[in-house]
Amino acid sequence: MKRRFLLVVSLVMVFALAVPLFAQSYDPMSFKSKKPMSQWKIALVPKDATNAWFVRMEVGVKQFAKDTGINAFQKGPAKTDAAMQAQVIEDLIAQGVDAICVVPVDPAALEPVLGLALSRGIVVIDHEGASQQNCLYDIEAFSNQGLGQTIMVELAKMMGEKGVYTTMVGNVTNASHNEWADAGVAYAKAHYPNMTLLAAEPRVEIMDNLDTAYERAKELFKKYPNLKGIFGTSSLSSPGVARAIEELGLKGKAFVTSVGLPNENKVYLKDGTLQSVLLWDPRDAGYAQLAMAVKILKGEKIENGCNLTAPGWTSMQFAPGSTKVLQGKGWITITKDNVDSFGF
Amino acid sequence: MTTTKTADSVRRGRSARDPNLLRLLVMLVFVFVLMTVLRPNQFATMADFNSMMRQFPEYGIMAIGISLTMITGGIDLGVVGTANLSAIVAAKFLIGTVPRGAAPAQVVPYLIIAVLLSLSVGLVCGAFAGMLISRFNIPAILATLGTQQLFTGIAIGITSGRPQSGLPLLYSRIGNMEFFRFVPISFVIFFVVAVGVGIMLSRTRFGTYMYMMGTNPRASRYAGLNNTSITLRTYMISGLLSSVAGLIMMARANSAKADYGAPYTLQCVLIAVLGGINPNGGFGTIGGVTMAILILQFLSSGLNMFNNISNFYRDVIWGGVLILVLVFNKLLSWREERRAVRKSMN
């Protein structure tokens, strides 16, 4: 009895080993579809179907379906949860979709199910999941380098390319905020000789808090009367600093920009305290993911400079040292003129 | 039927002629036919069955755990927390001890220890909840709301909230394998659990005790049953089942994390109630629960086939189904009562 049990167990093990499931590498070119375009079915799986960010992404998905006539749709879990997201993908695989675009809640948790999708010949495209193994490509709206430079260009424009500025990060431990700031500072050094970084406090921390941003900014402008600009990163820096600028009567004399949400900055953009904030639009990210999937289904080779036909996503570049992660310039500048057009 | 229920009548109440089972079967067939008619090329295909069989075991096993506690008149809201905590302990052990690049044969003993470790964490978690309820007389709903928070908190604490990945490949291979390329191992585990628990409830003395205590705890105590021990054991079984579910989730996600499957808790309560488990205790069968699991999975996979139905409505539909079933059950029991009264008057 015992021996038979052991036999069964060892057979099971051998069987298990014979099933390849993970960490295979696939040639994207082999995913060219044999079906006519009109029969393609492409699904985009967001983190959460009900979150405003992804509701906006669905606008892009619907637009893409309308523009191309391809059956593309968004289908996500009702709550942000890795296990439920995997189940949605399971269902999509069973339905026989041709491509799955996914914004993973947790890339690690999706490896098995995405591995299964790839093994069934389904195209898998990730967005904001650069660590994903089981995908053909991961596309990102921007590189940290590129965004940092763009923030600096905007700030320099406001400051007339001269004067003292400092940088503000959400947390000094936040890797991407620091990369943006470093890239911005390096860009200023190379391109704007009349701009100088505040040596006493070159990197201010706001603890990811709107009130702290406001208080720190007030303090800075009082302490350093010649401070003219703040290079912000966190989306809380613009509204916080703008409030300080307004209260101190420095409108038109001191400037700030950062990543920012339209509604949070609307008042200040309209009254001129702020001139612009930067953002990437989830609508374009949705559109670009589908365009990427279509390229692979068509059997196109993906190279530097490939065009995903959404604003800012028209010239994708591979991340340094990667053959999988592509980065765009998918940010948009929000000013008083377009701030009302986003709906979030 | 106004007299106190004896073990015998309790047993009769859940015989094969149970009207609730029949109702569920009708509903199951209805959902199945509806989806098949609406989506003939997608639903009721081999690929779809295969996918559904991979999906429901993880929450199905937890739903069975919750159902057991509800039969005794309690509830276990800590199942998901227990599942994640026990999976994290197993994952931490595997990641910390298995040498990189070890041969499969070398890994096997580690896997066995990890599984045993996780099952014992499940038992301890269950025992802790059972202790709070039976010894300290804390209402089950509050006690297990607390344990859910506590277990999730411990899990977040020991992982800093990060997913534990980098498990040995063998674990997910075994956990994701399929017999005949169709029957996932997780489904086999679910099947064994459902049959095992079903037999325990209907054929063993302990099962009968659970129903008796659930029907009337005071009567069961006067009848000489040890309510404390029954409660403790019930929650330990629930904890054990949760850790089994945790191991399945760990294989499916190839990692463990403190908050995987957080929305499963309410889904499992929904399944239990839909499956005819009386929230007041004493009634319900595993057959009913299994049918409820299938109904929900059919609905869920079916809904995902409609590109136009946003998952916004998923909660609406599930909540609606739950309330309908509750109202329907209440109406039926009223009708039965009236009929019984009329019969006694004649």
Ranges of each domain in chain B = 47-305+313-328
Q: What chain B residue is nearest to A12 in terms of C-alpha separation? A: B174
Q: Verify whether the Cβ–Cβ distance A106 to B263 is below 8 Å.
A: no
Whether the pLDDT of residue A198 is over 90: the answer is yes
What SS3 string covers A58-84? HHHHHHHHHHHCCEEEECCCCCCCHHH
The shortest CB-CB distance from B305 to any of A83, A95, A109 is to A95
Confidence of residue B41 (pLDDT cuts 50, 70, 90): confident
Whether the pLDDT of residue B202 is over 80: the answer is yes
pLDDT at A81: 86
Pairs across A and B, CB distance < 8 A: 122
Whether the pLDDT of residue B342 is over 60: the answer is yes
Interface of A with B (CB under 8 A): 12-13, 15-17, 19, 21-23, 49-50, 71, 73, 75-79, 81-84, 86-88, 90-96, 106, 108-113
Sequence-distant (6+) residues with CB within 8 A of B13 are B5, B283
Which of 2.60.40, 3.30.450, 1.10.3470, 1.20.1280 would CATH assign to domain B47-305+313-328?
1.10.3470
**B50 contact residues in A (CB cutoff 8 A):** 94
Q: How many residues does chain A have?
A: 344
Tell me how far apart the alpha carbons of residues B225 and B235 are, in angstroms, rounded to a whole number. Answer: 17
pLDDT at B57: 96
**B261 contact residues in A (CB cutoff 8 A):** 81, 83-84
**In this structure, which topology does domain A25-135+282-330 adopt according to CATH?**
Rossmann fold (3.40.50)
pLDDT at A18: 41
Confidence of residue A6 (pLDDT cuts 50, 70, 90): low
**A87 contact residues in B (CB cutoff 8 A):** 55, 300
Mean pLDDT lowest among A131-140, A178-187, B204-213, B336-345:
B336-345
Higher pLDDT pick, B93 / B99: B93
Single-letter amino acid code for the residue at A139: I
pLDDT at B3: 41
Q: What is the average pLDDT across A224-232?
A: 95
In this predicted model, what pLDDT tens digit does every residue of A105-125 receive, in sequence order?
Answer: 888 889 889 999 999 999 999
Chain A contacts in chain B segment 151-170 (CB below 8 A)? 163, 165, 169-170
Q: Verify whether the Cβ–Cβ distance A95 to B48 is below 8 Å.
A: yes
Q: What percent of chain B has pLDDT over 70?
A: 94
pLDDT at B12: 44
Confidence of residue B247 (pLDDT cuts 50, 70, 90): very high
Single-letter amino acid code for the residue at B125: C
pLDDT, mean over chain B? 88
Parse chain A into domains and list their residue ranges. 25-135+282-330, 144-279
Q: What percent of chain B has pLDDT over 90?
A: 56
Q: Verify whether the Cβ–Cβ distance B307 to A73 is below 8 Å.
A: yes
* 3-class secondary-structure state, position A13: helix
Chain A: give the shortest CA distance to residue B182, in Å. 12
Whether the pLDDT of residue B4 is over 80: the answer is no
Q: What is the average pLDDT across A262-272?
A: 91
Single-letter amino acid code for the residue at A155: L
Tell me how far apart the alpha carbons of residues A178 and A176 are, in angstroms, rounded to a whole number. Answer: 5
Chain A: give the shortest CA distance to residue B93, in Å. 18
Whether the pLDDT of residue B2 is over 70: the answer is no
Q: Verify whether the Cβ–Cβ distance B257 to A78 is below 8 Å.
A: no
Tell me how far apart the alpha carbons of residues B107 and A170 are, in angstroms, rounded to a whole number. Answer: 43
Chain A: give the shortest CA distance to residue B86, in Å. 16
pLDDT, mean over chain A? 89
| Superfamily classification of domain A144-279 | Response regulator (3.40.50.2300)
Q: What is the average pLDDT across B109-130?
A: 96
**B315 contact residues in A (CB cutoff 8 A):** 78
Tell me how far apart the alpha carbons of residues A108 and B147 are, in angstroms, rounded to a whole number. Answer: 27
pLDDT at A4: 62
Q: What is the average pLDDT across A312-329?
A: 92
How far, CA to CA in Å, does B263 sit from each of A48, A92, A289, B69?
Answer: 13, 20, 28, 19
Chain B: give the shortest CA distance to residue A77, in Å. 6
Confidence of residue B5 (pLDDT cuts 50, 70, 90): very low
Confidence of residue B78 (pLDDT cuts 50, 70, 90): very high
